[in-house]
């Protein structure tokens, strides 16, 4: 195994995929990166463009545009491919359309002999992660969705900004659906080991509504960005790179991902955003935060909305 190197296969080189590839290259996380897209020209152009940045990269990455047979030796397949919501199209239309696209993609990947980890970012991410798990037949630990990793990052950024503290010293989570029913876990929100409820006591002009606004801005961030520039991609791309590092470097990092629940948080047979320990084998374990009654109720509502949306697609 002397020649064994890490290979990431990226399916979908649109805004999110190409930003991920760029960030991955800049952080020198993998030795090999293969780009695959229905639009071959786009994938080929991206491979050329990224290769020209190699002299400035921190380490060597072999980058090429390829096809599904390249997934055979991949440690990680990252999926950012899919259709976006069109005007007049319902969320359910999008779910059905992307589930069909995913069936085709996952079948091709599995036919290559792939036996690694899947990381999914396409929306609706919780449902499509479930789809990948179903279609691939891989163990639940090896199918991961980006879940609320970005929402949690937005939450930490805004809290850090509000309290004027480095965002990396903020420990707080957004859990639930990556979407309108997600929720902040205020009961487990800390700055440098101090509960937010304590920290706010030192802030002269503190008002509860400021915290409420922070969460609203987190939840609606995608709408605000899409209104201005049509899509969001840098934040999620960096979140996917963070996850890639946790996986390939066997970090046992706690990140909020879409993980399969089998009794945790009182829920079963669902992929949804929760903190989890992530390493080279995928999801080692789901971290069960102690929630308040109100948080439990909101989480369970979020799961029920996801289940209802999934019903027609998976005949559950």
Residue nearest to ligand NAD (CB): 14
- For residues 14 and 116, which CB has a smaller minimum distance to ligand NAD in the complex? 14
For residues 222-244, one letter each, b for 16 or more C-beta atoms within 10 angstroms of the residue's C-beta and e for the rest, the string is beeeeeeeeebbebbbbbbbbbb
Closest CB 113 distance from ligand NAD, rounded Å: 19
Place of tokens 């320990």: 277
130 phi and psi angles, rounded to 5 deg = -60, -40
Residues with Cβ within 8 Å of residue 300, at least 6 apart in sequence: 266, 267
The helix/strand/coil state of 146 is coil
- For residues 78 and 248, which CB has a smaller minimum distance to ligand NAD in the complex? 78
Tell which residue, 128, 181, 124, 175, has the closest CA to residue 152: 175
Residues with Cβ within 8 Å of residue 164, at least 6 apart in sequence: none
Tell which residue, 102, 141, 147, 112, has the closest CA to residue 11: 102
Closest CB 203 distance from ligand NAD, rounded Å: 30
Closest CB 36 distance from ligand NAD, rounded Å: 6
Catalytic residue positions, numbered: 178
- For residues 122 and 188, which CB has a smaller minimum distance to ligand NAD in the complex? 122
Closest CB 312 distance from ligand NAD, rounded Å: 19
- For residues 45 and 187, which CB has a smaller minimum distance to ligand NAD in the complex? 45
> Residue 101: enclosing H or E segment and its boundaries?
helix 91-111
Closest CB 75 distance from ligand NAD, rounded Å: 20
- For residues 104 and 266, which CB has a smaller minimum distance to ligand NAD in the complex? 104
* Interacting residues toward ligand NAD by CB under 6 A: 11-17, 37-39, 42, 80-82, 84, 101, 104-105, 121-123, 125, 146, 150, 178, 231-233, 236
Task: Measure the CA–CA gap between 39 and 93, rounded to whole angstroms.
Answer: 23
């Amino acid at each position: 195994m002397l020649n064994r190197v890490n290979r990431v296969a990226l399916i979908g080189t649109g805004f999110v995929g190409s930003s991920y590839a760029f960030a991955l290259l800049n952080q020198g996380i993998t030795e090999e990166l293969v780009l695959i897209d229905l639009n071959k020209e786009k994938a080929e152009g991206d491979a050329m463009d990224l290769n020209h940045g190699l002299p400035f990269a921190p380490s060597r990455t072999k980058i090429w545009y390829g096809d599904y047979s390249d997934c055979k030796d991949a440690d990680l397949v990252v999926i950012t491919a899919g259709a976006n919501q069109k005007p007049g199209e319902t969320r359910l239309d999008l779910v059905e359309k992307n589930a069909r696209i995913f069936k085709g993609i996952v079948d091709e990947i599995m036919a290559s002999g792939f036996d690694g980890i899947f990381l999914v970012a396409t929306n609706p991410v919780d449902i499509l992660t479930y789809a990948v798990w179903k279609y691939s037949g891989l163990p639940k630990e090896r199918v991961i969705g980006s879940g609320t990793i970005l929402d949690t990052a937005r939450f930490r950024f805004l809290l850090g900004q509000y309290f004027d503290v480095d965002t990396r010293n903020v420990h707080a989570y957004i859990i639930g659906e990556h979407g309108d029913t997600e929720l902040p876990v205020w009961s487990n929100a800390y700055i440098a080991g101090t509960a937010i409820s304590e920290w706010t006591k030192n802030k002269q002009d503190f008002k509860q509504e400021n915290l409420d606004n922070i969460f609203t801005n987190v939840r609606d961030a995608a709408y605000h960005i899409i209104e201005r520039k049509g899509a969001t991609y840098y934040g999620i791309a960096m979140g996917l790179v963070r996850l890639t590092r946790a996986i390939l470097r066997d970090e046992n990092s706690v990140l909020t991902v879409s993980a399969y629940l089998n009794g945790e948080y009182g829920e079963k047979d669902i992929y949804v955003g929760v903190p989890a320990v992530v390493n080279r084998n995928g999801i080692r374990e789901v971290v069960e935060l102690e929630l308040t009654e109100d948080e439990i109720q909101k989480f369970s509502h979020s799961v029920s909305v996801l289940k209802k949306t999934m019903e027609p697609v998976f005949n559950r």
